[in-house]
Amino acid sequence: MINSPRVCVQVQSVYIESQSSPDDERYVFAYTVTIRNLGRGSVQLLGRYWLITNGHGRETEVQGEGVIGVQPHIDPGNEYQYTSGAVLETPLGTMQGHYDMIDADGNPFSIDIPVFRLAVPALIH
């Protein structure tokens, strides 16, 4: 069994009110992902898989090559950060998934993306 390189994934999400339309059940969120390579060798992100769940429990799966059109190489001690978005029909939801990666020797491995919330900030009346 090959030890997976040490890669850390952190995600922050934000509600984009200016692009959302609650009357039309359209809630737009941006999320910024930081991928840190804590290992001793370089890694490359090849693909992604997302499971997006809205507030009604409806699930949508998204998968594809790279992220935002690139398959970044991340050297030891460095990080790669990108921002993307998701549109939900509800003001609350979650995302989670994994990245398919390879190490410097061409060995494939997968890194889990922990579940994170997509939520409209509480409104005070």
Q: How many CA atoms lie within 13 A of 44 on its CB side?
A: 12
3 pLDDT higher than 70: no
Give the model confidence (pLDDT) of 18-60 as tens digits. 999 999 999 999 999 999 999 999 999 999 999 999 999 999 9
Tell me the pairing of strands 92-103 and 73-74. Answer: unpaired
* Structure tokens that stand for 82 in this block: 């990108």
Q: Is the pTM of this model over 0.85?
A: yes
Report d(CA 117, CA 31) in Å as an integer.
Answer: 10
- Write down the mean pLDDT value for the chain: 93
7-111 fold: Immunoglobulin-like (2.60.40)
Radius of gyration of the chain (CA): 16
Measured CA to CA, the distance from residue 13 to residue 15 in angstroms comes to 7
CA distance 81 to 31: 10
